[in-house]
Amino acid sequence: SHIRLAKIERFIEIEEQFRLKDALNALSEYEIVILDCPPTLGMTLTQALLAAHFVIVPIAGDYYSHEGVIDLNESLQKATRGNPSLQVLG
């Protein structure tokens, strides 16, 4: 009903993406945390990429897996805007 409400919704969506990163930063007793994501390009992957330091992408050697890696590469490029230290290890 008002433009301010739309701005609030957008702010919540942006802040939501960093919820996992904030939670992991609060865990000081662990040196390593492994985030195992489902093979989808949804919000779970986005949050994990924004929170991670490194990425390892296991894939099968078939056509559809290769196509998925192409799509994942686009997601990785977008995630590095919000997480410039993100590195793909393999």
DSSP state string for 41-83: -SHHHHHHHHH-SEE-----SSHHHHHHHHHHHHHHHHHHHH-
pLDDT for position 32: 92
pLDDT for position 1: 53
8-59 residue pLDDT tens: 655 657 778 888 999 998 988 998 999 998 888 888 888 899 999 999 998 8
pTM for the complete prediction? 0.77
